[in-house]
Amino acid sequence: MRDETEQHIEQIARELRAPVSIGRELDARVMRAVRRLPRHARFGLWSRLITPRTVTVTPLVWGMLAAAVAAFAVLGAMHAGADLDRAAKPIARAFFPRPQTPAQSQRVQFVLVAPDAKKVAVVGDFNGWDASHAAYQAQHRGGGVWSVTAPVPLGHHRYSFVVDDSLWVADPTAPRVTDYDYGMPNSAIVVQEQK
Amino acid sequence: MSVAARTLIALMLVAPLALAQDARLSARLDKPTLIAVNAIVDSARVAKLPTAPLVDKALEGAAKGSDGQNIIVAVRQLSMQMGSAKRVLGSSATPDEIKAAATALAAGVSERDLARLRSASGKRPMTMPLAVLTDLIVRDVPIATATSLVVQLARSGVKDPELALFQRNVRADIDRGADPSVAATTRARGLVLRSSGSGNKPTE
């Protein structure tokens, strides 16, 4: 009985030790069979994109990523500023054609004949009615003629001359306005874009 | 919510209002006047009126040494006139048109005449015609005459440079002793003839 069992085991062992012959087309047959199987929806591209998943990032990696993004943004902003401006203009002009950017102000000459004046300044809506504004101090050109050429924003403005810090004089050559709220006259000027 | 948190939220809500107020006003007006002027300016802002002319009006008063009460009255009056002007000219009116129209109303032009001028001007800017109209009235051209002339010029399609030249010519004529009404009427007639005729450029 024991001999029979040992012989049987020996026979099985021989069979197991014998080399297994695998056909050359086995791989191809297996892959063909796999490809014939229906694709599982979970492994589709769209599923991969929309399926929520948990990503674990260590603080170190997270900090490095944040630093890299910040550095990229700063460098990008530094280099892109001029290029963006240069590149955006033709695109903007293509979509919104405008001949040119309108000027925001025009230089206007103010002239007052005041032979006895020691000082003449122009005040108005365009300089906050500030008689000490440096850009609006008239210069004596001789013969009692005072003048100053200064920028005035486009639009309608009221203004006046201030002589010797005390006397308010409307521009005799300009349109007048009925600004008697404060008891002293004003002039008006309409500054328009020069075409 | 803690007191500190409430204070912080209140400051965040008030900060934009404080920033919106003109620092020049704070520097030149006394506190009661400043509060009143800021209230008028805020009301104008809510009514979608231009606020810069109101600030300028207050600054003008301060520069001319006017007292606070006068400044408040002047600013309030301008605000009301700009409200009337906007009502007549419509929501498409520019801040300059509203400002010039308010000045014309202050000179005595009626809202009805303002509407006539709006209609005569079509879609062209009204700032220059309004400035010329105001100047004519200030130079003693009767309001009815001045309004009719400027409406007629606007209807004839007279352009702004020609209107400016018209104003200078009328002023020069008056300075030389001409009757204001006759000077304005004569110059306007010539301008209308030139505009509707050969199209030659006007000359002094």
Distance of CA B201 to the CA centre of its chain: 28
Distance of CA A93 to the CA centre of its chain: 17
Distance of CA B62 to the CA centre of its chain: 20
Return the residue in A177, A180, A187, A194 with the most chain B beta carbons within 10 A, the one to mutate for interface testing. A177
CA distance A180 to A85: 49
Q: Model's pTM, two decimal places? A: 0.67
- Segment B140-162, tens digit of pLDDT: 999 999 999 999 999 999 999 99
**Cβ distance of A128 and B24 shorter than 8 Å:** yes
A69 lies in the same domain as A139: yes
**Local confidence pLDDT in tens for the 195 residues of chain A:** 678 899 999 999 988 888 877 777 888 888 888 888 877 666 677 777 887 778 787 888 888 988 988 888 877 666 655 455 555 555 555 555 454 444 588 999 999 999 999 999 999 999 999 999 999 999 999 999 999 999 999 999 999 999 999 999 999 989 888 777 788 889 999 998 876
- SS3 state of residue A182: coil
Which residues of B lie inside 8 Å of A (Cβ-Cβ)?
24, 52-53, 56-57, 59-64, 66, 70, 73-74, 77, 95-96, 99-100, 103, 106-108, 127-128, 131-132, 134-135, 137-139, 160, 164, 167-168, 171
Greater pLDDT, A30 or B81: B81
**Cβ distance of A125 and B95 shorter than 8 Å:** no
A149 lies in the same domain as A56: yes
A74 lies in the same domain as A133: yes
A86 lies in the same domain as A178: yes
**Is A151's Cβ below 8 Å from some Cβ in B?**
no
Per-residue confidence (pLDDT) for residue B118, from 0 to 100:
94
A115 lies in the same domain as A53: yes
A74 lies in the same domain as A167: yes
**Cβ distance of B127 and A128 shorter than 8 Å:** no
Separation in Å, CA of A154 to nearest CA in chain B: 9
- Segment A162-194, tens digit of pLDDT: 999 999 999 998 988 877 778 888 999 999 887
Residue of A nearest to B73 (CA): A181
Name the nearest CA neighbour of B130 among B168, B91, B186, B85: B85
A125 interaction partners in chain B (CB closer than 8 Å): 52-53, 56, 60
SS3 annotation, chain B: CCHHHHHHHHHHHHHHHHHHCCHHHHHHCCHHHHHHHHHHHHHHHHCCCCCHHHHHHHHHHHHCCCCHHHHHHHHHHHHHHHHHHHHHHCCCCCHHHHHHHHHHHHHCCCHHHHHHHHHHHCCCCCHHHHHHHHHHHHCCCCHHHHHHHHHHHHHCCCCHHHHHHHHHHHHHHHHCCCCHHHHHHHHHHHHHHHHHCCCCCCCC
Q: Find the CB nearest A125 among B56, B107, B128.
A: B56
A103 lies in the same domain as A121: yes
Number of domains in chain A: 2
Q: Find the CB nearest A175 among B73, B95, B134.
A: B134
Residue of B nearest to A132 (CA): B63
A145 lies in the same domain as A173: yes
**Cβ distance of B127 and A123 shorter than 8 Å:** no
A46 lies in the same domain as A18: no
Separation in Å, CA of B90 to nearest CA in chain A: 18
A143 lies in the same domain as A56: yes
**Cβ distance of B167 and A175 shorter than 8 Å:** yes
CA distance B116 to B146: 13
The question of ipTM being above 0.95 is answered as no
> Could you list the residue range(s) of the whole structural domain that residue A19 is in?
2-32
A192 interaction partners in chain B (CB closer than 8 Å): 128, 160
CA distance B89 to B81: 12
A111 interaction partners in chain B (CB closer than 8 Å): none
A176 interaction partners in chain B (CB closer than 8 Å): 134-135, 138-139
Query: Residue A63 maps to which CATH number?
Result: 2.60.40.10
Per-residue confidence (pLDDT) for residue A170, from 0 to 100:
92
CA distance B47 to B41: 10
CA distance A111 to A151: 14
A113 interaction partners in chain B (CB closer than 8 Å): none
CA distance from start to end of chain B: 75
What average pLDDT does this structure show over B63-91? 95
- Segment A97-119, tens digit of pLDDT: 454 444 588 999 999 999 999 99
Q: Say if residues B166 and B132 touch (Cβ distance below 8 Å).
A: yes
CA distance B145 to B185: 8
A27 lies in the same domain as A46: no
Separation in Å, CA of A94 to nearest CA in chain B: 27
CA distance A110 to A129: 15
A22 lies in the same domain as A60: no
